[in-house]
Structure 1
Amino acid sequence: MNVTAQELRTVIVERDFPHPPEKLWRALTQPHLIEAWLMQSDFRPVTGHHFNFRADWGAVDCVVTEVEPQRTLAYTWSAYGLESVVTWTLEPSAAGTHLRMEQSGFRPDQEQAYQGAKFGWQKFFGALEQVLAKEAA
Structure 2
Amino acid sequence: MSTAAETLVAVVERELPFPPEKVWRALTQQHLIEEWLMKNDFQAVVGHKFNLRGDWGGVLACEVLALEPHKTLSYAWNFPHDDPAFDTKTVVTMTLTPTGKGTHLRVEQAGFRKEQKQAYGGAKAGWAQFLGNLEQVLAKVN
Query: TM exceeds 0.5?
Result: yes
Identity of aligned pairs, percent?
57
- Could you tell me how far 1:66 is from its partner in structure 2? 0.3
Q: Distance in 1 between matches of 2:102 and 2:54?
A: 31
1:84: which partner in 2?
A: 90
Q: Give the secondary-structure state (helix, strand or coil) at the position aligned to 2:129.
A: helix
Quick check: 2:38–2:55 contact (8 Å CA) kept in 1?
Answer: no
- Could you tell me how far 1:3 is from its partner in structure 2? 2.7
1:94 aligns with 2:74: no
Structure 2: where are the runs of 5+ without partners?
A: 82-86
- Could you tell me how far 1:4 is from its partner in structure 2? 2.8
Q: Distance in 2 between matches of 1:9 and 1:99?
A: 20
Off by >2 Å, runs of 4+ in structure 1: none
Query: Which residue among 97, 117, 130 is the counterpart of 1:124?
Result: 130
- Could you tell me how far 1:118 is from its partner in structure 2? 1.0
What is the RMSD computed on CA atoms of the aligned residues?
0.9
Q: Distance in 2 between matches of 1:123 and 1:49?
A: 26
**Length, aligned pairs only:** 135
* TM-score, length basis structure 1: 0.95
Q: Give the secondary-structure state (helix, strand or coil) at the position aligned to 2:66.
A: strand
1:25 aligns with 2:24: yes
Q: Give the secondary-structure state (helix, strand or coil) at the position aligned to 2:123.
A: helix
Q: Distance in 1 between matches of 2:65 and 2:91?
A: 9
2:73: which partner in 1?
A: 73
Amino acid paired to 1:115: G
Q: Distance in 2 between matches of 1:122 and 1:108?
A: 21
Structure 1: where are the runs of 5+ without partners?
A: none
1:133 aligns with 2:139: yes
Q: Give the secondary-structure state (helix, strand or coil) at the position aligned to 1:130.
A: helix
Q: Distance in 2 between matches of 1:3 and 1:70?
A: 32
* TM-score, length basis structure 2: 0.92
Q: Give the secondary-structure state (helix, strand or coil) at the position aligned to 1:92.
A: strand
Q: Which string of whole-angstrom CA distances, capped at 9 and with x for unpartnered residues, describes residues 32-75 of structure 1?
A: 00000000000000000000100132100000000100001000
Q: Give the secondary-structure state (helix, strand or coil) at the position aligned to 2:2.
A: coil
Quick check: 2:10–2:108 contact (8 Å CA) kept in 1?
Answer: yes
